[in-house]
Structure formats: structure tokens, C-alpha cells
Amino acid sequence: MPIRRSKLDRTALDKAKALFRKHGGMLRMANAIQAGIHRTTLYAMRDAGLVEQLSRGLYRLADAPPLANPDLVTVARRVPRGVVCLISALALHDLTTQIPHEVWLAVPRDSEPPRVNYPPIRVFRYANQPFAAGVETHDIDGTKVRVYNREKTLADCFKYRNKIGLDTVVEALKRYKQQGHIDADALTRYAQTCRVANVMRPYLEAVL
């Protein structure tokens, strides 16, 4: 049976809500406990509808403003070392008309598999140098989301063209040109990092 709000300890509740707000309205259970929120208080808040569970171990105040991109925020909180890549990065940079139905995420090749029950994710394991190259941080709903920049994303897409489709890659390259701010040096550099320089060259010459 759900726990009534009236049965929640008011002092503990006020303290917990203040801590949630201090962290942008969202906390992982481990961080909540570390911050001083008792596990039973967190469960009581959940059962009373004061917080919602976004994913396993991740909670958010129910009265917080709606998230602009809840999937990316949730994954960034659950897998802080991960980097948004490929189709998800294209969508974030407005380089595709596709709407990703899962979060495409790069992780280090030797890392543990991410444990995310929701939202669905598609994981790609990168070697150290390609993984570290071209990472930028976006502030989305108060959460730092790591994503590859436009040029690195295009190079990655050429590398994984058989998985995402060459038509998607060419579309992204055309939209990149339409956006302006073309950085040919960066495209060349990331193409070399991803070992697709020879593959990309004729497309860059034709489109850019």
C-alpha cells in the first residue's frame, strides 16, 4: 500500500527535497544516501509520488520542470564516462532528420558494460585515442552530457557507415555544409584518428 504523505517525517522530507533541488532535482540513490537522505525516506518519497524513478537507482523530483531530453540526461547520469555518438550525436547537432529510438553511446573498449535498464542504449566500444578525441560537454537540463563534436561525429559515422547507412552519412555531411562553420582541418584530423581519411576524402571533395 502506498505510503501517505502525512506519514512522512516532515523534517526528513524537507531536507531530502532541498538536497534534490541542490542537485538539479535529480539524484542517484548512492549519491542521495551519501548526501544524507535515508534509504527509507527515499522509498517513502517514491511511494508517495514525490519523486519519480527515471531508471534503476536514479530519482527525480516529481514537481521539477519537464526535461527537454530525458533519455540523454538519464544516460549521462547513469554512465558519466560515456559519450553520446553517431545517430544520437547527429540528432543533437541537428545533422539528421532521424529520431533515434535509443541512445547511441561510446564507451572505452576496456570498460565494464553499462547497466542501464531504461532508456534503451546502443553501445559502441572505442579504442583509447578515438574515444578521447573530439569530446565536448553540453549542459542539458542541468546535467553535463558528453557528446562528440560535429566533425568527430561525421568521422565516426564514416567509420560505422555500414551500421548507420551511407545515405545517413551523406545527409549529415550536406546538413553540416548548410550550417556553415566548416572546419576542414578538424574533419581531416578526426578522419585520420578514425582511420577513414581515404574513405572520407572523395565525399568531402564532392559535398564541401
Domain count, the chain: 2
- Give the Å distances, CA to CA, from 183 to 94, 150, 177, 180, 194: 17, 10, 10, 9, 17
Residues 40 and 87 in one domain: no
Tell if the pTM clears 0.85, that is, is over it: no
Torsion, Cα 46 47 53 58, to 10 degrees, reads: 40
Residues 56 and 95 in one domain: no
pLDDT of residue 1: 41
pLDDT of residue 136: 98
Question: Which residue segment(s) compose the domain that 33 sits in?
Answer: 5-61
The predicted-structure confidence for 104-141, as pLDDT tens digits, reads as follows: 999 999 998 888 888 999 999 999 999 999 999 999 98
What is the spatial distance between Cα 42 and Cα 58, in angstroms, rounded to a whole number? 11
Q: Kind and range of the H or E element at 33?
A: helix 29-35
Residues 100 and 190 in one domain: yes
Residues 52 and 93 in one domain: no
